[in-house]
Amino acid sequence: MADDSRKNQRGIIGSYTAIGDSFTEGVGDPGPGGTLIGWADRLAVLLADRLPAPDAVVGPPDDTQGNFRYANLAVRGRLLDQIVEEQVPRAKELAPDLVSFCAGGNDILRPGSDPDAVAERFERAVADLTQAVGTVMVTTGFDTRTMPVLRHLRGKIAMYTAHVRSIADRYDCPVLDLWSLRSVQDRRAWDSDRLHLSPEGHTRVALRAAQVLGLDVPADPDQVWPPQAQRGTLEVRRDDIQWAREYLVPWIGRRLRGESSGDHVAAKRPDLLPL
């Protein structure tokens, strides 16, 4: 099985580069001044906190001591081939200790897409990355059984997830398994657009990713959500109509026009910089 143990020890990580689409960019998790945070940024903080302070290490100075470096190359709307063309070469150039690689989800959402073909291209990129960087952590899809519209694609997403886990086995990659993270099946883990995580959802994914990499975390990512009042049928229907008007129709319109939400968007952190 792929090495996704909650106590996976792979040594000190002094640098981290995140590649992917809107999920890794942090859409749904707004920060100060219109910036985005997201699970990858939150994971970077957890990794940085694990590094020993420079004055706590005996011996000559080391580049990783108290100087954690992080880059986030992810851009919303990117398809797998775009990520491979634009982000993978830059990640190889940066050569960090860790790369998180989440891609293919936007491909799977497209009508007529073939999970087998997408997985073949994903594997080629993983093979390329693993030869150039320290560790490549891959990410599965979410279980969409409770999500409007996306639940109809659950079979395709499950097939692609199975491929990702198999690829991880072959290349000794830790797996951020989002399919098994039950807490993100709660609607409070998702933004109002129902396509991106909320701040709390991003936080739980970051905690799970840290566990996969062997870190002790301050909270359980699968902690049960507090109870909430049951919503009536009319309220649910009203919310569905509002969601379709505000998010679904514009999303379909962009697809018909061949546009992407990531057009004219650049990576928010293209260089390995200290946190």
**219-265: per-residue pLDDT in tens?**
999 999 998 878 788 877 787 777 778 767 776 777 667 767 777 78
Question: The tokens of 51 are what?
Answer: 């590094």
Work out the percent of the chain whose per-residue pLDDT is above 70.
88
Tell me the mean pLDDT in the region 181-200: 93
For 7-22, the pLDDT digits (tens) are: 444 578 999 999 999 9
Res. 66: pLDDT tops 60: no
Q: What amino acid is encoded at 253 in this protein?
A: G
pLDDT at 50 over 70: yes
The pLDDT value given to residue 250: 74
How high is the mean pLDDT of the chain? 88
In the three-class reduction of DSSP (H, G, I as helix; E, B as strand; rest coil), residue 270 is classed as strand
Average pLDDT over residues 74-83: 96
Q: Where are the alpha helices (H) located in 177-248, listed in sequence order?
A: 199-212, 233-243
pLDDT at 52: 76
Residues near 198 by beta carbon (within 8 Å), at least 6 away in sequence:
28, 29, 188, 189, 190, 191
Distance CA 178, CA 164 (A): 12
Q: How far apart are the first and last CA of the chain?
A: 34
